[in-house]
Amino acid sequence: MAEREPLVRPTESGPYCVAGDFYIDPWRAVERAVITHAHSDHARRGAKWYLCEASGREILQERVGTQGTIETLPYGATTTIGGVQVSLHPAGHILGSSQVRLEHQGEVWVVSGDYNPTHASGSCVPYEPVRCHTFITESTFGLPIYRWPSPEQVFGQIHAWWRRNQENGIASVLPAYPLGKSQRLLAGLEASIGPIALHGSVKTYAPMYERAGVQLAPSVTLSEATVPEIKGRGLVITSSAAQEVGLIRKLGGVSWAFASGWMMTRAARRNRDFDRGFVLSDHADWPGLLRAIEATGAERIGVTHGQVHEFSRYLREQGHDAFVFPTRYVGEAQGEGLQEDAPAAANEAI
Ligand SMILES: [Zn+2]
Ligand SMILES: [Zn+2]
């Protein structure tokens, strides 16, 4: 039997579904784009038509502007694009993040986007495995060293750090990527400990999460007016420190920490710009990747977006039919100051 044409293939503009004539997370201007989620390395301006999950619509609009049309699908609903059945399934990464399921002539592919099957986040619908013949998986943390502690444990550490800072009469500062990580922190923080302030740079998306029904801890905006309330006892979530050094300086003594999956690496932990590092990621860790791949039952696994060579080699050694699916991966949120999940963030954040 002749090899079938792949349902999705890499192109100069991004992953392309030939049979349906549309792209998934394209990086160039195209006619039709199915978007896994609104992080800037997945959702770019310039498409004439976008499809995303319904709860992520407002965020995508904010990201891509008003030039193109945005259509939405709720999780699990199916639409047909050029003869290909398309549905979106929870990826557990950020609000509205989806795995894209494609079905054409009995063949099923799932493109994961970024996904977090390891620990459910309080700020989005938990990841759900989807059965398929071919699974395209991200591999941001596709090395055995990456194993996340439970979020309960991590939030316990964050709260203990915050309380200790209060005892020492200083404020706590947590830089976090404005979309996704900031809201995950807000959904997990214990507001009874003290006041929480958001710097202007991380304020945009919280109301969108709340309108989508996500419960976030109450917060104020960090400003001249709120500095006295935050000083000595509050917790500030900010994007990159460079922009707000003025206001943070007005808080007097502060302790800086950083929350990311990269905190598992020694280099990140040793970074002296931070007093504390917390391991909190919105991506799959190593055991999460392996479990997720098994759960799809896929015969073929395409590895993209991260540790592609190491992870695909490991999968082949385990007997999987695994291949590298090329992408123009540059890490989350390149060019936005603080990168959500890149090691460089630890250096750039101050
Ligand atoms: Zn992402
Ligand atoms: Zn990504």
Residue 216's CATH number: 3.40.50
In a domain, 119, yes or no: yes
The DSSP code for 4 is P
| 58/313 Cα distance (integer angstroms) | 39
Structure token digits, residue 11? 């192109």
Q: Considering every ligand atom shown, identify the ligand nearest to the alpha carbon of residue 140 and give its number.
A: 2
107 shares a domain with 58: yes
Residue 306 alpha carbon to ligand 2 centre in Å:
9
What is the CATH number for 295? Answer: 3.60.15.10
Ligand number nearest to the C-alpha of 27: 2
Show the domain range for 291.
8-146+283-333
CA of 94 to the centre of ligand 1 (A): 7
Question: Are both 21 and 138 inside the same structural domain?
Answer: yes
Check whether residue 142 and residue 156 sit in a common domain: no
pLDDT by residue, tens only, the chain of 350 residues: 556 789 999 999 999 999 999 999 999 999 999 999 999 999 999 999 999 999 999 999 999 998 899 999 999 999 999 999 999 999 999 999 999 999 999 999 999 999 999 999 999 999 999 999 999 999 999 999 999 999 999 999 999 999 999 999 999 999 999 999 999 999 999 999 999 999 987 999 999 999 999 999 999 999 999 999 999 999 999 986 555 578 889 999 999 998 999 888 877 777 777 889 999 999 999 999 999 999 999 999 999 999 999 999 999 999 999 999 998 755 543 333 334 444 333 322 22
Distance in Å, CA 142 to ligand 2 centroid? 13
Beta strand extents in 246-335 (DSSP E only): 254-259, 276-278, 300-306, 321-324
From the CA of 42, how far away is ligand 2's center (Å)?
6
pLDDT of residue 173: 95
How many angstroms is it from 114 CA to the middle of ligand 1? 5
* Residues 227 and 297 occupy one common structural domain: no
Q: How far is the CA of 124 from the centre of ligand 1 (A)?
A: 13
CA distance linking residue 65 with residue 251, whole number of Å: 35
**108 and 225, same domain (yes or no):** no
Q: Are residues 76 and 48 in the same domain?
A: yes
* Cα dihedral across residues 33, 36, 37, 40: positive or negative: negative
Query: Domain end: 250, 278, 306, which one?
Result: 278
Q: Do residues 170 and 261 both lie within one domain?
A: yes
- Cα(134)–Cα(107) distance, rounded to whole angstroms? 9
The pLDDT value given to residue 206: 96
Q: How many Å lie between the centroid of ligand 1 and the Cα of residue 330?
A: 12
CA of 2 to the centre of ligand 2 (A): 34
Q: What are phi and psi of 296, to 5 degrees?
A: -75, -20
Domain check: are 22 and 133 in the same one?
yes
**Which residues have beta carbons under 5 A from ligand 1 (an ion)?**
39, 114
| Torsion angle in degrees (nearest 10) through CA of 128, 129, 130, 133 | 160
Beta strands in 91-156 (DSSP E): 98-104, 107-111, 134-139
Same domain, 232 and 289: no
pLDDT at 274: 84
Q: Are strands 98-104 and 107-111 parallel, antiparallel or unpaired?
A: antiparallel
> How far away, in angstroms, is 126 Cα from ligand 1 center?
15
